Structure 1
Amino acid sequence: MKRLFAACGEAGRVLAARDWSSTTLNPPRDWSPSLRTAVCICLESRFPMIVMWGSELAYLYNDPCIPHLGDKHPAAMGMPLRLVWPEVWEELRPLSARVMSGGGATWSTNKLLLVRRHGYLEEAYFTFSFSPLREMSDGGRIRGVLSTYQETTQEVVRSRRLACQRELTAALTRLRTQRSVCIRAPSVLGNHPEDIPYSIVLLWGRYPSLSTPQLVTTSGLGGRQATRRALAAFDRSGLLSEVVNETPLAGGRVVSGLRGWESVLLADGSPAPATAVVVALRNRTSAAPVGILVVGASELLALDQDYRDFVETIAGQISFGLMLTRAREAERTRAASARRSSLRDALTGLPNRISFLRNLGKALLRSQRGNGRVAVLFIDLDGFKAVNDTLGHRAGDNLLCEVASRLRRTVRPADVVARFAGDEFAVLCEEIETMGAVETIASQVVEVLTLAGSGDRPTIAASVGVALSGPGLLDPEELLNASDIAMYAAKRQGRGRYLLYEESMRS
């Protein structure tokens, strides 16, 4: 029997050489036919298989089980199940008890077990079945359990990490600012504490070499105090300066044993993992890092290349999100600048005709709710053409800027001053209660825009047309046109004056 077992691989040789006097089983030559048959089937199977026999469930296994036993092999051969796996005995006992008591076979899919097979607890997942083994020479009484299983740790871990990456992609896709990316990312990572017990995101300013990275947000840590202690530990390590000085972080830097780390706690009050992976966040248009991602490494998972690749991928997703939002922010800035330019006069910075008409339309709507009347002053400079002809266009531009400045200082703070084209300006006045109020403004405009000639510069004056909203003038274009008509009437009467619009002027 020993020779037969010894021919069945490493596990068979261990079984054949085992001193069975110290176990609950007799030597193999005394085993019952049912046990011998079950063990032979087990040893010759190329699928992980375990025979657990007797009241103590003596543990017998084949070669495919050896990699999953770790340093428990070869001592586990023949030991009671509760001594082979004491760390998970409370979870395995009800399953084996059910089978041994005649309750029938049972199984479990992707069951999480925290096993100790390399000297430390680690997270492992198994899909397995427990089936009864009967002693046929004893009337078919159940004497043991046959288990076939498959370790699914890699598949489960990879699947949930992929889910984390998908969730992160979906969360970062439509964000609009870099800060929102750095806030949202740890929020997502915090939903996956099995792989990411905690995370920290830091960002540099525009010039990393001249500043220190600023904390944006964290996940998993036990409040502000824990965060401050964590950052202090990283700062003392000198790692942050290494990142900004372009020390390579290929695949992330694994750090552990930081001074003061023992006082850092997770949100549930447990000690934070002592090992972390640090990865630089980069803008793909520049070699310089823009930030740092710190991810705590779970002590229940192997810190292998798969885990480092996972963290590197997350950092890449955040970096890509930062790059997209940076591009969107730049595009919004350009668009806002273009909108401002489209509504502003390039020379004076005043609102242009389009902007003036929009403001006028809103003012007319407000006036209909009882906020007084709206007045438009249409201004045309008299003598401006002579300035351009005698002194040149630069002098003309300087004069227009001076006119704009004088108008802004002269009218009321809430009034809108605009430049239309050439030497045409307009003023929008709201909440006009009396005719005298708008006449005072028009008189002041004429006065400040009367510029006596000096040297080669001709005398400048202003013709101002004033139109007040009323029953027949509630349309922006109509009101502006009325003030234009009044302005031309003022010119015909000698210039350097203002006139109020009258309907007779149209003819």
Structure 2
Amino acid sequence: MRGPLLEATGALRPAYEQVDWAASPLGPPRDWAPELRSTLYVALTTRFAATLLWGPEYVLVYNEAYAELIGEKHPAALGRPAQEVFPEIWDDIEPLLDGVMETGVATFPLDMRLDMVRNGALDEGYFTYCYSPVAAPDGTVLGILDIALETTGHVVDRRRLDVLGRLGIALADVDDAGELVAVTSDLLGKAVDDLPKVDVVLGGAAEVAATSWHGATPPAHVGLEDVVVADGPEGRVAWLALPVQGPRARRPLLAVLLNPLAAEDEAYRDFLVLVARAIGAAVDRVNAHEQERSEAAATRAMSEALQRSMLTDPPDLAPLDVAVRYLPARNDSRVGGDWYDAFRLPDDDACLVIGDVAGHDQRAAAVMGQVRNVLRGVAQSVGTPPSRVLGALDRAMDQLGVAAMSSALVLVAGRGGEHSSLGPLDGSTPVVFSSAGHLPPLLLSPDGTARLLWTDADLMLGVDPRAERHDTRVDLAPGATLLLFTDGLVERRDVGLEQGLERLREAAADLHHLGLEALCDAVLTQVGGAPEDDLALLAVRRRTG
């Protein structure tokens, strides 16, 4: 080789001069076909990685950029058949080369994976390249011009960004430690090109268990943002400390079996650090949620204990039977001010009360206790009718500084006080009730007819202590039942109030034949379910005997 062609070889000139071309499949350069010489000159002078694969054996002659691309395969690759140079990828590229030789049509793979031995070991690689035919004047394909671009960095970066994105999305709603480990292991376990195996150890080094791939003992010191690599039973293992709040000695760890085909370079380490950060942030969220749940559970327990301590069993109110139920919300934060009460008035009438103090916390439960106790005292003092009880209660709350709003319904059954003239008609018990912004009671007749006793409800307690209040009378026949309840029984996010009330009415009509206690249980099961708000239920039935 001499002249312009030799000059074009540049830094590769010594390598070209050392090749015994006469002994190679190409033969001496003076006998090379004009198509080989002219195309090689183009390849040598382009700045893209380019090689010729000439003749039926696809003998390689290439430029400086291509020599850098194939690494340690140069300079032995010069003048040798491609199958000898690239045995590890020959099954992938031979069909493409043969196709171009046979058809004369170029092929253009994009980001094709070709793992080659280039740096002393098999190396993960991705390439975009074009195999173009080099033909004689008669159209016979003599060789192939390969212009290649390595895209390994772009492909791997894109792949790793996708893993980080999916990891962030998957962990966004996780609020349990066990779920966090399961979600992380499942998602990262599918990213085998970068994370062949992973292990998240939330308890820190003290809880690292022996496994078949990383062993039982992590490095003694793994600092934040550090990637400590050690040899394990199955290969190189990277250890990282998850950046979480809390004692350093118990900091969770991430173990990763490294991809043996990937370079342990700064990009790989930065990726592992970002994975650890994402998991660490999720661990902090889980810990915060668990702390919130713990605090909410404690608050709930205190509120519920306070509430239940005041919601006592009703006394004997013959000829009435009374059953009560209280059900806390399924949400820890919504234990609040729902309440009921049942007691005798001085004239021996029965007083039944249902109410709901605004709010869902310990304060609501405490205010409920105040309102309940004040109402008892007021009822014993002012007597009937219920409207007078509610008016006096509203004024007392204002004077005592009870700054809260509450709905309430007070019901008086019997013949005492000013209503003695209302005596029983055909065995019925006269009932008078007054509502301060509360839901209507449900009257369930012995024959199964059920109707809501709608009235123009007066203002809630705590709005205007001078508000006018009104009474409504209904006669409770033997065997008839009244259900008093709070909105937690009938309101749901996906069900409007009117729909919830109608659902209750229909269910109660079907359950009218049940005993009072069984009726309450069935109503809670069919209508109450797992309430989003706490609820109180009070049922009163006129005995038949």
Indicate the TM-score class for this superposition, using the shorter chain for normalisation.
0.5 to 0.7
Question: 1:297 and 1:289, CA in 2 relative to 1: closer, same or farther beyond 3 A?
Answer: same
Shift of 1:179: 2.4
Instruction: Write out aligned runs for 1:74-93 (5 A).
Output: 74-93=75-94
CA distance in 1, matches of 2:78, 2:485: 96
State the match for 2:365 in structure 1: none
Question: 1:280 and 1:33, CA in 2 relative to 1: closer, same or farther beyond 3 A?
Answer: same
C-alpha distance after superposition, 1:426-475 (max 9, x if no partner): xxxxxxxxxxxxxxxxxxxxxxxxxxxxxxxxxxxxxxxx9999746532
CA distance in 1, matches of 2:326, 2:304: 16
Amino acid at match of 1:181: L
Amino acid at match of 1:173: A
Instruction: Write out aligned runs for 1:291-370 (5 A).
Output: 291-345=252-306, 350-352=308-310, 360-361=324-325
Cα contact 1:5–1:13 (8 A) shared by 2:
no
Shift of 1:422: 11
C-alpha distance after superposition, 1:209-237 (max 9, x if no partner): xx82256xxxxxxxxxxx64346x233xx
Cα contact 1:353–1:420 (8 A) shared by 2:
no
TM-score by length of 1: 0.61
Shift of 1:299: 1.1
Shift of 1:290: 2.6
State the match for 1:451 in structure 2: none
Instruction: Write out aligned runs for 1:383-398 (5 A).
Output: none
Shift of 1:249: 5.8
Runs of 5+ consecutive residues of structure 1 not aligned to the other structure: 216-226, 262-271, 364-374, 381-418, 426-465, 478-500
Matched, 1:172 2:155: no
SS in 2 for 1:106: coil
Cα contact 1:378–1:424 (8 A) shared by 2:
no
Question: 1:230 and 1:54, CA in 2 relative to 1: closer, same or farther beyond 3 A?
Answer: closer
Shift of 1:284: 3.5
Amino acid at match of 2:36: L
State the match for 1:99 in structure 2: 100
Pick from 251, 265, 272 the counterpart of residue 226 of structure 2. Answer: 251
Aligned residue pair count: 349
Amino acid at match of 2:278: Q
Question: 1:351 and 1:230, CA in 2 relative to 1: closer, same or farther beyond 3 A?
Answer: farther
Cα contact 1:39–1:51 (8 A) shared by 2:
yes
Shift of 1:362: 5.2
Runs of 5+ consecutive residues of structure 2 not aligned to the other structure: 315-322, 328-339, 346-367, 375-412, 415-428, 430-475, 487-539
Pick from 181, 197, 212 the counterpart of residue 206 of structure 2. Answer: 212
Report percent identity of matched pairs: 28
State the match for 1:487 in structure 2: none
Amino acid at match of 1:124: G
Shift of 1:60: 0.7
Structure whose residues are more often helix by fraction? 1
CA distance in 2, matches of 1:119, 1:145: 28
Matched, 1:284 2:267: no
Cα contact 1:283–1:289 (8 A) shared by 2:
no
CA distance in 1, matches of 2:208, 2:42: 63
State the match for 2:483 in structure 1: 474
Matched, 1:194 2:158: no
CA distance in 2, matches of 1:28, 1:2: 8
Shift of 1:287: 4.2
Shift of 1:49: 1.0
C-alpha distance after superposition, 1:93-114 (max 9, x if no partner): 1111111123411121111112
CA distance in 1, matches of 2:158, 2:2: 44
Question: 1:288 and 1:31, CA in 2 relative to 1: closer, same or farther beyond 3 A?
Answer: same
CA distance in 2, matches of 1:185, 1:230: 18
Amino acid at match of 1:253: V
Question: 1:141 and 1:502, CA in 2 relative to 1: closer, same or farther beyond 3 A?
Answer: closer
Question: 1:475 and 1:64, CA in 2 relative to 1: closer, same or farther beyond 3 A?
Answer: same
SS in 1 for 2:108: strand
Question: 1:12 and 1:39, CA in 2 relative to 1: closer, same or farther beyond 3 A?
Answer: farther
SS in 2 for 1:160: helix
SS in 1 for 2:157: helix
Question: 1:68 and 1:377, CA in 2 relative to 1: closer, same or farther beyond 3 A?
Answer: same
Question: 1:40 and 1:420, CA in 2 relative to 1: closer, same or farther beyond 3 A?
Answer: same
Shift of 1:15: 2.1
CA distance in 2, matches of 1:73, 1:379: 104
SS in 2 for 1:229: coil
State the match for 1:24 in structure 2: 25
State the match for 1:62 in structure 2: 63
Cα contact 2:242–2:276 (8 A) shared by 1:
yes
SS in 2 for 1:474: strand
Question: 1:355 and 1:154, CA in 2 relative to 1: closer, same or farther beyond 3 A?
Answer: farther
CA distance in 2, matches of 1:116, 1:52: 19
CA distance in 1, matches of 2:313, 2:66: 79
CA distance in 2, matches of 1:131, 1:379: 102
Shift of 1:285: 5.5
CA distance in 1, matches of 2:128, 2:283: 41
Shift of 1:305: 1.5
CA RMSD of aligned residues (A): 3.7
CA distance in 1, matches of 2:213, 2:106: 50
State the match for 1:184 in structure 2: 183
Amino acid at match of 2:85: V
State the match for 1:497 in structure 2: none
State the match for 1:159 in structure 2: 158
SS in 2 for 1:143: strand
Cα contact 2:226–2:241 (8 A) shared by 1:
no
State the match for 2:122 in structure 1: 121
State the match for 2:144 in structure 1: 145
Question: 1:424 and 1:129, CA in 2 relative to 1: closer, same or farther beyond 3 A?
Answer: same
SS in 2 for 1:251: coil
Question: 1:351 and 1:13, CA in 2 relative to 1: closer, same or farther beyond 3 A?
Answer: farther
Shift of 1:161: 0.8
CA distance in 1, matches of 2:206, 2:32: 72
Question: 1:378 and 1:333, CA in 2 relative to 1: closer, same or farther beyond 3 A?
Answer: farther
CA distance in 2, matches of 1:472, 1:84: 94
State the match for 2:212 in structure 1: 229
Instruction: Write out aligned runs for 1:491-506 (5 A).
Output: none
Amino acid at match of 1:57: Y
Matched, 1:43 2:44: yes
Shift of 1:291: 1.2
SS in 2 for 1:147: strand
Shift of 1:6: 3.8
Question: 1:290 and 1:379, CA in 2 relative to 1: closer, same or farther beyond 3 A?
Answer: farther
C-alpha distance after superposition, 1:316-355 (max 9, x if no partner): 100000011211222233333333444343xxx8544599
SS in 1 for 2:282: helix
